[in-house]
Amino acid sequence: MSNTAADIEEARWRLVLARQEPEQAFVYAVRTTGIYCRPTCPSRRPLPANVSFFDTTVAARTAGYRPCLRCEPDRQGEAGHTSAEAAVIAACRAMRAHGGPLPAAQLRSITGLSQRGLSRAFAAVAGTSARAFGDAVRTGTARVLLRTGSPVTEAVFAAGFGSVRAFYDTAAPTLGMTPSSYARGAVGEHLSWTSVNTVVGTVLAVASARGLCAVRIGPHLPRLLDEVQTEFPAATFTPEHEALTDVASGLAALAAGHPAAAALPLDVRGSAFQARVWSALRRIPAGETRSYGEVAAEIGAPTAVRAVASACARNRLALVVPCHRVVRSDGTLGGFRWGLSVKQSLLDHEKREHNR
Ligand SMILES: [Zn+2]
């Protein structure tokens, strides 16, 4: 039996008419309403001429459709992952078990996605390809991916595969935000802040509902507040010192060269490339430094030294994303958004703690 695109569409349309759960996930989108649905959606069946099919909800959103409020195609049962995320996780897990890349046919049978569907899902969720992930597994650079129990975006971020893009593709459309408005803070977005005096000066922490979205260091709190309000001009800011006590003490610990007692949830806002750089910075142990070139090599972009330096300079999350651990290849400090004396002082504290 042939498997032409028309055959697949026809089989999918039959499932939609029967409101039947498919073996291989897909959604159908309706041109006239701009909505996409699960095949099992109880809503009225559209005219077939207005319907297109997508392997993943990510693909449907990318094509400009919105999720149906009745069947909630992005809400997933198991582990809270979307079908694209679940497919990527399954593929990653299989490649980790295998210790390297797997043939496309094997990935298709593991994920239930077509090759095209899987590469779209990988690009959207992980900001990379299955092949690149497999290679990273083989060279040992993907080992921190998919820590059990952590949300997929954080896990993907931890491995340096750009969860920011995943965030845009999964959460942002639900919030009705575009990536650029998300990066700046959408109108009415509520951000809470607190500040803490540390050994390197005042640290301002700003958090969204997802986690820390800005951490800044400086001598004057009002100026720091001004700066973040300029950076997120559409958001509203509320002091929440009590709710952010753990965040404040975690940041004070980091400033003094100690590890934070609890993991600080992050809401990373930047490009996929920046996210890869920032993720690599988080893997530099306290007490050590890397050159910009070494970070570029670490993220698999050895010629992108200037872009790495620029991503370091645009780091919004001081201390948590330790851009202070990146120095020039000749060992001199290079730049630091929050001042070279602060950078030197952070490195000194970390070295001292490390050598104890
Ligand atoms: Zn629906």
pTM for the structure as a whole: 0.53
Q: Return the bridge partners of 317, or none.
A: 215
Q: What is the CA(238)–ligand 1 centre distance, in A?
A: 37
Rg (CA), the chain: 22
Active centre residues (catalytic): 37, 323
Closest CA to 274 of 251, 295, 250: 295
CA distance 164 to 126: 9
Please give the structure tokens belonging to residue 133: 């992930």
Q: What is the CA(40)–ligand 1 centre distance, in A?
A: 8
Q: What is the CA(149)–ligand 1 centre distance, in A?
A: 29
Closest CA to 133 of 267, 270, 276, 308: 276
Q: What is the CA(208)–ligand 1 centre distance, in A?
A: 30
Q: What is the CA(27)–ligand 1 centre distance, in A?
A: 9
Residue 287 Cα distances to 279, 334, 344, 351, 355, angstroms: 17, 17, 12, 4, 8
Q: What is the CA(42)–ligand 1 centre distance, in A?
A: 7
Please name the fold of domain 5-67: DNA Methylphosphotriester Repair Domain (3.40.10)
Q: What is the CA(304)–ligand 1 centre distance, in A?
A: 44
- Residue 248 has what DSSP assignment? H
Q: What is the CA(127)–ligand 1 centre distance, in A?
A: 28
Domain(s) labelled CATH 1.10.10.10 in the chain stretch across: 189-356
Say how many CA atoms lie within 13 Å of 325 toward its Cβ: 27
The hierarchical CATH code for the domain 189-356 is 1.10.10.10
Number of H helices, E strands in the chain: 16, 10
Tell me whether residue 272 is exposed, middle or buried, using C-beta atoms within 10 angstroms of its C-beta: 0 to 12, 13 to 18, 19 or more.
Answer: middle
Q: What is the CA(19)–ligand 1 centre distance, in A?
A: 11
Q: What is the CA(121)–ligand 1 centre distance, in A?
A: 21
Note down pLDDT in tens along the chain; length 356 residues: 445 777 888 889 999 998 887 767 789 999 999 999 998 888 889 999 999 998 877 778 888 888 888 887 876 543 345 677 777 877 877 776 677 788 988 898 877 788 888 888 877 776 667 887 777 667 654 433 333 333 444 444 333 333 334 333 333 333 444 555 556 666 667 888 999 999 999 999 998 877 788 999 998 899 999 989 888 888 889 898 888 888 899 999 999 988 876 677 787 777 777 888 888 998 899 999 999 999 999 888 888 888 899 899 889 999 999 999 999 887 777 778 788 889 999 999 999 888 87
Across the chain, where does the E strand assignment appear? 27-30, 35-37, 51-54, 66-67, 190-198, 201-207, 212-218, 236-239, 290-291, 326-327
Q: What is the CA(172)–ligand 1 centre distance, in A?
A: 19
How does pLDDT run across 176-186, given as a tens digit for each residue?
Answer: 445 555 566 66
Closest CA to 280 of 308, 259, 257: 308
CATH architecture for segment(s) 78-175: Orthogonal Bundle (1.10)
**How many C-beta neighbours within 10 Å does residue 56 have?**
26
CA distance 32 to 27: 16
CA distance 128 to 113: 16
For residues 293 and 329, the answer to whether their CB atoms sit within 8 Å is: yes
Q: Which amino acid is at 280?
A: A
Domain(s) labelled CATH 3.40.10.10 in the chain stretch across: 5-67
